[in-house]
Amino acid sequence: MPNNPIPVIAIDGPTASGKGTVAAKVAERLGFHLLDSGALYRLTALQALRRGLELRDEHGIAKLAEHLPARFVGGDIFLNNENVTAAIRAEEVGNMASKIAALPTVRQALYGLQLGFRETPGLVADGRDMGTVIFPGAKLKVFLTASVEARAGRRYKQLIDKGISANMDDLLSDLKERDERDTKRAIAPLVPAADAHLLDTSAMTAAEAVEQVLAWYAHP
């Protein structure tokens, strides 16, 4: 829909770069809808794990994705009527999500679902290929990143705050593996769009990052 007048802000970046927090706050400030595309992959991964589907069953996983009973209510994420906001943040689910995101049929199954989130007055879409694949005509594209050490530190704090035990070395290793997988995959690799604004948040607060994105949106 190249002529769609509904504005989109695409915020892409690697795992734990803070893009989810920034996207949610930008959407709140502008009164826009929010698409957490990573949550769709995590929901698909959660469904696949619960049903015992293996990674090689690409067709079966794609079918799950195509008919995903997902709902976003405020800051909560529902699968049917079950609140799975916490469940999809488990490391096992995140790892599975990163792997199935490399499956072409799964990406295609979720493509139309993601386009459907574009509604008035506008959309803030966060993920890994929002500006390059899903919304290439977005009014503003931002590629949010941070050093792997900063991202591991944030993830560690998130987990500890939720009462979940975490090991910094394991988190560093996990993030490096995910970065490698996401940037090297054949389909929609994690790369900045050619016209994206690059924002390194290693030494920034979420509030500072939000203000920068809003400034870019106000003065493109």
Give 192-197 contacts, CB < 8 A, sequence gap 24+.
Answer: 192/12, 192/131, 192/141, 192/143, 193/10, 193/12, 193/131, 193/132, 193/136, 193/141, 193/143, 195/141, 196/10, 196/12, 196/131, 196/141, 196/142, 196/143, 197/140, 197/141, 197/142, 197/143
Is 16 annotated as contributing to ligand binding?
A: yes
The helix (H) or strand (E) run that includes residue 7 is none
Is 165 annotated as contributing to ligand binding?
A: no
Per DSSP bridges, beta strands 70-73 and 76-79 are: antiparallel
CA atoms within 13 A on the CB side of 189: 8
Is 112 annotated as contributing to ligand binding?
A: no
Count of positions (residues) in the chain: 220
Is 19 annotated as contributing to ligand binding?
A: yes
Is 125 annotated as contributing to ligand binding?
A: no
Is 18 annotated as contributing to ligand binding?
A: yes
Of 20, 52, 54, 23, the C-alpha closest to 39 is: 20
Is 21 annotated as contributing to ligand binding?
A: yes
Binding residues for ATP: 13-21
Binding residues: 13-21
